[in-house]
Amino acid sequence: MPLFLVSQGPAVFLQNVFIMEYKQLTPMFIITNKRFTTLGNQIFEFMSELYPNLTTTDIEVIPTDLTEDNVFGWTLENNDQNEIEIHNDLSEKDFITTLIHELIHVDQNVRGLRDDTQREEEAYSLEHTLTNQFLNKC
């Protein structure tokens, strides 16, 4: 049925409107810069084998200038979506290590781990080992 907007003074009335809940069926992994797409997808596939929770949530990776923030990357959580901002001028190895570190944080978000100290201890303790495993696999 069509949507009708009828304006009568300041109020707007809607007739025949059906509101349905929208839920995406397949979680997405998106990198917003083509320069990083292939490598980022390879890292995501590698990490998904170790952390299946990564396949249950939407992840968007946004390469951006984080120079003023003095960080290589961070993860923001918004409901079932995770946004990773990663510095856009990293060496390939630093990009790999940082994305692995941030994907560990995404897994922690899915698991409900909220303690900042535990989160960083876990991510830092694993990032170099996982980076070396990834580099040896590729």
Virtual CA dihedral for 38, 51, 29, 58, nearest 10 degrees? -170
pLDDT 10s digits, 19-71 = 444 444 456 778 777 777 889 999 999 999 999 999 999 999 999 999 999 99
Q: What is the pTM of this model?
A: 0.79
pLDDT 10s digits, 63-110 = 999 999 999 999 999 887 999 999 999 999 999 999 999 999 999 999
Sign of CA dihedral 108, 55, 38, 33: negative
Identity (one letter) of the amino acid at 94? D
Cα gap 41→31, rounded to integer Å = 8
